[in-house]
Structure 1
Amino acid sequence: MQSKTKLILMNCAVAAGLIYRWKTGTQIVPLAITAVIMFTLVNVLLIFATKRSTNR
């Protein structure tokens, strides 16, 4: 699977989880903080994994 496809799927999974939490009544500020952390973490980890796999 290409890294671009993985990136899209992982971001969609994070977004789906955040939308679910929002629909169940989570306050917006903790949800926004979680969103920033999760999207950043997912994208940075995927970039590092892609660079690591191309170096081998």
Structure 2
Amino acid sequence: NTRTDADLSAAVQNALQALLPQIREEIREEIREEFRTGSGSSNVGGNPPPVTIHTW
């Protein structure tokens, strides 16, 4: 059972190593897109950002 755990761990490591560069590139592209469009997706439609309401 220990060997299969080690094999699984190695497989997960290999998958992460393969996927990380692609994920990083997608995140970078998303950030570039938000800078290019100005306010980005946080303020669509010109509405003011939501106000936090504190309740006691």
Q: Which has the higher helix share?
A: 1
Structure showing greater radius of gyration is: 2
Normalised to the residue count of structure 1, the TM-score between the two structures is 0.43
Normalised to the residue count of structure 2, the TM-score between the two structures is 0.43
